[in-house]
Amino acid sequence: MKSPLVIYWSRRDFRLADNPALLAALLHSKKENIPFLPIFILEDYMTEGNPIHQFGLPSRWFLSRALPDFASQFKDFVIYKGKAVVTLKAIAEHVDVTVYVNDDVYVDFYTQVEKLQAAGITVHVSEDALSVPKDTRSQEGKLYSVFTPFKKNVWVKFVSTKVQKKAEVTDVLTLTRAERQLLPKEVVATTEALEVEFRKSRLLQAGKHIIDLDTLTAAPEFQDWYISEAEALERFKGYLQSGDLDGYRKNRDSLELDAVGAGKTSKMSLALAWGLVSSRTLVSLIQRHFEESFDNPFSSRVSEGALTYISELIWREFYRYQLFHHPELMDTEFQERFRGTIAWVEDKTAEARFIAWIKGETGYPVVDAAMKQIAETGWMHNRSRMVVASILTKNLGVDWRWGQEYFRAALIDLDEASNNGGWQWGASVGADPKPIRIFNPELQAKNYDASGAYQKRWLESDKNFSLLAPSVPIVEHKTAREEALKRYGLSKEEPRDY
């Protein structure tokens, strides 16, 4: 008879606090005195830099630091390499495995779970990816497709979801060295060892083109972005102490503030995307800071900034909810009327424009500044993300899927659901599309970077750059707007110029 083993299968949840699968695994192991083994499985798509299964250089860079950091907190933590199902089945040949794992919003994850269960492995899936029920429906029993009614429905649930305690991971029974040696080969949990596993290439697939980012932009500097669970929590507490959250509603769109480092947004996206903190924990810290439950979103008594911040966290839930229910969204428009109907510019023009956009050479200064920001740091302000998505799709007429792929390859805070939702929103083809917006880059710069600080910050290295005499855009906005109307089949009245 095989001896029992409890496995916590870590995926994108590198935290000890409020980690439901980890807590459940520990409880089982301690209650029944069964050895506990936390693991991560390094799958081929993560290491190989294949543009088809995009796992960008920023993700590879971050993982090679976050994994050893997370692993070091456990008595034993094992990294395996290979396909998840194959690896877990190989372990199950030697021990009687029970797997605990947090849920996800991808179909692939559920397929993996089914395959494991079919092989006789017990798998417990904990709810974590969303803090509100995945099956949230309207009174008519329908799934939501518009944000505001979804938010109204889930608000109270979202602010009242309980945060689970921090896991105690050292006082546990572990496998003996001899028992571990029977299991598949381990990868050493150090950054150096992991970096050997990861390819350094930066390839990207856009339509039928394979684009090598190394030929377009210098390798980015990610150093400032590295953060552990403890640091992420400290950073957020500092954000609350600074009072910046109070001004969040007013300031969150300001590119000027972003440029001068005064922040005003929390920069928690990386920590949330990699599961270093849960959104539940952020909400509970906000509640503690303001000594307020925030269960009434219409109350005028409470901090407007905090209400807006919670609302943004619910956008994140909304996009996860959409991707969970509509996995086809990764490459299909939410809006049926736009499926296969938009006449994107012909291929050669699209390729040239896409490359100019990546390099920050569109001639629209605010767009070029934003594209330099992402190329140099792996991160971009939300206002800029909206602007560059609208300009690529509307002004330059390039398919939103290409933009989505570039962000997948370039973002350090990549969250597939938010990225997909953001791109579909930017292209006005997604859930909650109204009004259809055509961003005017000059107007955007005037409204959100009036002093030009953001544009100067990112374009100053270009000797020819002058805000007073910017270069000529590759497509002049007025013409671009008219072309976009035709491309989308819209009447002149329908879209608003933003």
Q: Which of 273, 345, 358, 371 forms a contact with ligand FAD (CB under 6 A)?
A: 273
Which residue's CB atom is positioned nearest to ligand FAD?
422
131 touches ligand FAD by CB under 6 A:
no
Q: Which is nearer to ligand FAD, 415 or 449 (CB)?
A: 415
Please tell me what DSSP assigns to residue 162: P
Q: Which of 63, 78, 313, 410 forms a contact with ligand FAD (CB under 6 A)?
A: 313
Q: What's the rounded Cα separation, in Å, for the pair 360 and 138? A: 43
Dig out the tokens for 110 from the structure.
Answer: 């559920």
Q: What's the rounded Cα separation, in Å, for the pair 298 and 294? A: 9
Dig out the tokens for 413 from the structure.
Answer: 């805070």
Count of CA atoms in the C-beta half-sphere (13 A) of 128? 30
164 touches ligand FAD by CB under 6 A:
no
Q: Which is nearer to ligand FAD, 242 or 466 (CB)?
A: 242
Please name the helix (run of DSSP H) or strand (run of DSSP E) that holds residue 81, with its range, or none. strand 78-81
List, as one string, the DSSP characters of 450-498: TT-HHHHHHHTT-TT--SSSPPPPSS-HHHHHHHHHHHHT--TTSSEE-
Q: Which is nearer to ligand FAD, 60 or 316 (CB)?
A: 316
Residues contacting residue 85 through CB under 8 Å, at least 6 positions apart: 112, 115, 116, 119
Q: Which of 77, 158, 315, 354 forms a contact with ligand FAD (CB under 6 A)?
A: 315
Coil, helix or strand at residue 176:
coil
Dig out the tokens for 124 from the structure.
Answer: 């417990």
CB of 266 to ligand FAD, least distance (A): 3
Write each residue from 374 to 413 as x if it is in contact with ligand FAD (CB under 6 A), else as -, in one continuous string.
-------xx--xx--x-----------------x---x-x
CB of 268 to ligand FAD, least distance (A): 4
Q: Which of 48, 197, 295, 312 forms a contact with ligand FAD (CB under 6 A)?
A: 312
Write each residue from 419 to 448 as x if it is in contact with ligand FAD (CB under 6 A), else as -, in one continuous string.
x--xx--x----------------------
CB of 408 to ligand FAD, least distance (A): 8
Q: Which is nearer to ligand FAD, 256 or 413 (CB)?
A: 413
Site stretch for ligand FAD (CB under 6 A), options 214-222, 312-320, 345-353, 370-378: 312-320
Dig out the tokens for 262 from the structure.
Answer: 């005064």
List, as one string, the DSSP characters of 292-321: -----TT-SSS-HHHHHHHHHHHHHHHHHH
Q: Which of 198, 225, 319, 454 forms a contact with ligand FAD (CB under 6 A)?
A: 319
Q: Which is nearer to ligand FAD, 81 or 385 (CB)?
A: 385
Q: Which is nearer to ligand FAD, 35 or 56 (CB)?
A: 56
Coil, helix or strand at residue 284:
helix
CB of 388 to ligand FAD, least distance (A): 7
Closest CA to 19 of 133, 126, 158: 126
CB of 81 to ligand FAD, least distance (A): 26
- AA letter at 88: L
Please tell me what DSSP assigns to residue 215: G
The two counts, helices (H) then strands (E), for the chain are 22, 10
Site stretch for ligand FAD (CB under 6 A), options 298-306, 332-340, 367-375, 418-426: 418-426
Site for ligand FAD in 243-272 (CB under 6 A): 252, 265-269, 272
Q: Which of 164, 418, 444, 455 forms a contact with ligand FAD (CB under 6 A)?
A: 418
Q: Which of 169, 366, 396, 414 forms a contact with ligand FAD (CB under 6 A)?
A: 414
Please name the helix (run of DSSP H) or strand (run of DSSP E) that holds residue 201, with its range, or none. none
**CA-atom Rg of the chain in angstroms:** 23
Whether residue 435 has a cis bond before it, omega within 30° of 0: yes
Q: Which residues contact ligand FAD (rule: CB under 6 A)?
A: 252, 265-269, 272-273, 312-313, 315-316, 319, 381-382, 385-386, 389, 407, 411, 413-415, 418-419, 422-423, 426
